[in-house]
Structure 1
Amino acid sequence: MNILIKSAKIIDPKSDFHNTTQDLLIEKGVISSIGSNLKNPNNFKEIKLKNLHISQGWFDSGVSFGEPGYEERETIENGLITAARSGFTSIALNANTNPIIDTNADVAFVLSKASNSPVTLLPLGALTRSSKGEELAELFDMKTAGAVAFYDYKAPVTNPNVMKIALQYASNFNGLVCSFPQESRISRNGVMNEHISSTRLGLKGNPALAEELQVARDLFLLEYTGGKLHIPTISTAKSVALIKDAKTKKLDVTCSVAIHNLCFTDEALTDFNTNYKVLPPLRTQADVQALIEGLKDGTIDMVTTDHTPIDVEEKKVEFDHANYGTIGLESGFGALRTVLTTKTCIEVLTKGKTRFGLESWPINIGNPLNATLFDPDENYTFSLKDIRSKSKNAIFEGYPLKGKVYGILSNRKIVLN
């Protein structure tokens, strides 16, 4: 990869050139020079774009595709192209496939599918066999095969002893355990946040308490066992407070929030649009504000698009019967910019990498270039033409966004929109 990038504003606090506009000369995938008005004696490809910004490559800690088993929703190949064109140089792939990714052979399969991609795929192995919550999967074998963490996607581990053993066992090889924050015996069959809106709409409620009980339980277990815990997609103000308190105790815990939970409240469900049916559900404005503040003060470590392709047959049904989930890769950055500054956006899109075992390369001379190119200020309305996923279940369709992605430079490859 030989390129000259012209007049790009570098957004990277770990770079010697942070917050300055520079040219970058890339030779064989490595940054050979950074400066003003760099020459191009070897006639390399030049990239010169309006309001061009560059940062370290973005990471999404929770993406679902479908393959193997649900290729009608999304394939790994098209999913990774979508991720690249959405600005992500690395993604963690959820284990909710058919079969569930719960053996070293399953991990090897998805890695083989991504071997030549510009996007680095990091497999998440299931925490329990078939994600049923009953007995641990082959954690160490999957770790050896390349799994970066263990997570039963959207499937709470009901038995606290299973979670206790998981934390203890995984700590023997520095394994990262993920736990979906929902107490199913409280949430039961609720389909939206339990609040005034659910009463008005006549829909069964999933209370904030269901999440907060599970978060509290898992933090108690972490304090007892040690180990490493990641809590994906928290959605309530109390969850933020519980995790903030755990961090003051120096517990080894991180958490993420889905971008759509920062942008919408349960008021959005007025017309029963099933694209707004997500898990955890959209909560109240007070919860949204607490989540945003949690990102700003570092309590919440990272964001995720929680990208979940669902085919139309499972969305174009009554709200009670529709499947949970929305695609989010394509809209992720533009939606995030509507609630956060450029600086904070880049911070929460990049700092999760180290938690999942990825090396982070600052934009400095002599380092390999793993970067995202973007314009943080362009305003537009997200529509079907912006969707590259096979499935079209987009919560942000028709929503005003701010910030567009130009592409990525990663794994010695270039992807530009």
Structure 2
Amino acid sequence: MITLIKSATIIDSSSLYHQQKKDILIQEGIIKQIEDTIPSKKEYTIVTKENLHVSCGWFDTSVSFGEPGYEERETIKNGLQVAAKSGFTAVAVNANSNPVIDNKAAVEFLIHKGNGFATKLYPIAALTAQSKGTEMAELYDMQQSGAIAFGDYKKPIDNDNLMKVAILYAQNFDGLVLSFPKNKSIASEGIAHEGINSTKLGLKGIPALAEELQIARDLFLLEYTGGKLHIPTISTVKSVDLIKEAKKKGLQVTCSVAVHNLTLTDIELHEFDSNYKTNPPLRTNADCKALQKGVKSGVIDIITSDHNPIDIEHKKLEFSEAKDGTIGLESLFSAVNSVLDLKDFIEQITSKPRHIFGLASTSISEGRTADISLFNPEEKYTFIKKDILSTSKNSAFINKKMNGKVYGIYANNQLILNS
């Protein structure tokens, strides 16, 4: 298979061709030639798109597919096809299935199910057995089977000593531990950000303090143990400040932000639409601005969709009864590109997550494996339900104005384009 990508602006700071418009010739999955103009031949598959831009393949570090156990929400097959058409050449899949991915066989099952697709699947295994937070899972065995990190999805580790021991143990094999930032006793039964809007709407609040206390605890533990720690999906002003200060002290801490926390606020809750019920909750405009600033400054290392499909039976309920979560693969790029400039966030979906999760770097350079996302950063549109490719339709971005169109990917010797 020979593919010729025509007149593409290359966005890749590691490439000699960064910010240049070039033709790219790919043969059997390898970038063979990059030139101003490459003549077309009959046997070539030609890719020509309006205002075409390409970057190294996007990597989403927090994706949930239902399989195994919740296939009605999303199968691995459909999920990886959605990811490809959303611009992602790799996704890290959370352990929140049934059964939980907490052993070697379960990790191998996920990897086997993900084989052969354009988008590469990487398992995040559970940190504790059955994600119950009581005893550590078999981390080393799961890493040897292909797990790239360990975390109990959306479940904080209450036991301080267990978290300490996990960080210490993971250092023996350079494992990456994730700690979800939520103090359950402070958050209690809250379902929305504690503030003016939750008070007006009569919704039980989750204080920003619940997140910040847990992060402070984890940073103290990390300072004691050494090693490295990743804090997924932060959402408050002070969380950004805490991590900024920890990095200044030299701690090996990284963090991510979910696209909905980066772009939406708790003002959305006035319609009591359960698609806006997320964990952590949507917070204030000040939090959004701090998170955006954190991305620009590099304090926040990763932007994730935190894609979490929920079937209609568990989502289309009263706000207090509905499950947390929104899908986000299809809307991540366009939503972030609506509030930040491309140069301010491209590393947070390409090189930075790969480095943090221990994956090989990619580059749009001659002789390198083609791992490329294709997009137009300037097309404005309104995201509507027909734009959703996922099986579940629980998107917080329906009817939101967007900027940027994803064309598809070239990865794993496969060209996947949106129709």
TM bin (shorter chain): over 0.9
Unaligned runs of 5+ in 2: none
Tell me the alpha carbon deviations over residues 241-287 of structure 1, each in whole angstroms, 9 at most, x when there is no partner.
00000101111111000000111111110010000000000111111
2: CA distance, partners of 1:97 / 1:65: 8
- When residues 318 and 41 of structure 1 are mapped into structure 2, their CA distance, relative to the original with a 3 A threshold, is closer
Determine whether 1:306 maps to 2:318.
no
Q: 8 Å contact 2:2–2:43 — kept in the other structure? A: no
Tell me the alpha carbon deviations over residues 328-376 of structure 1, each in whole angstroms, 9 at most, x when there is no partner.
0001111011111122232211121111121112111111110000000
1: CA distance, partners of 2:41 / 2:293: 48
2: CA distance, partners of 1:401 / 1:185: 37
Could you state the TM-score of these two structures normalised by the residue count of structure 1?
A: 0.99
* Alignment match, 1:234: 234
Shift of 1:40: 2.8
* Alignment match, 1:365: 366
2: CA distance, partners of 1:72 / 1:23: 42
* Alignment match, 2:222: 222
2: CA distance, partners of 1:49 / 1:288: 33
* Alignment match, 2:204: 204
* Alignment match, 1:404: 405
Corresponding letter in the other structure for 2:89? T
Shift of 1:43: 3.0
Shift of 1:228: 1.4
* Alignment match, 1:31: 31
* Alignment match, 1:134: 134
2: CA distance, partners of 1:390 / 1:139: 31
Fraction of identical pairs, as percent: 56
2: CA distance, partners of 1:27 / 1:5: 11
- What aligned pairs does 1:9-24 form with structure 2 within 5 A after superposition? 9-24=9-24
Corresponding letter in the other structure for 1:203? L
2: CA distance, partners of 1:411 / 1:45: 16
Shift of 1:41: 4.2
2: CA distance, partners of 1:349 / 1:2: 27
Corresponding letter in the other structure for 1:364? S
* Alignment match, 2:380: 379
* Alignment match, 1:4: 4
Q: Which runs of 4+ in 1 moved over 3 A?
A: none
* Alignment match, 1:258: 258
Could you state the TM-score of these two structures normalised by the residue count of structure 2?
A: 0.99
* Alignment match, 1:414: 415
Shift of 1:153: 0.1
Unaligned runs of 5+ in 1: none
2: CA distance, partners of 1:73 / 1:284: 30
Aligned length: 417
Secondary structure, counterpart of 2:320 in structure 1: helix
Secondary structure, counterpart of 1:353 in structure 2: helix
Tell me the alpha carbon deviations over residues 199-251 of structure 1, each in whole angstroms, 9 at most, x when there is no partner.
10000000000000000000000010011100000000100000000101111
Secondary structure, counterpart of 1:321 in structure 2: coil
- What aligned pairs does 1:3-402 form with structure 2 within 5 A after superposition? 3-41=3-41, 43-350=43-350, 351-402=352-403
Corresponding letter in the other structure for 1:357? G
Corresponding letter in the other structure for 1:279? N
1: CA distance, partners of 2:236 / 2:166: 25
Q: 8 Å contact 2:295–2:345 — kept in the other structure? A: no
Corresponding letter in the other structure for 2:392? S
Corresponding letter in the other structure for 2:416? V
2: CA distance, partners of 1:364 / 1:131: 42
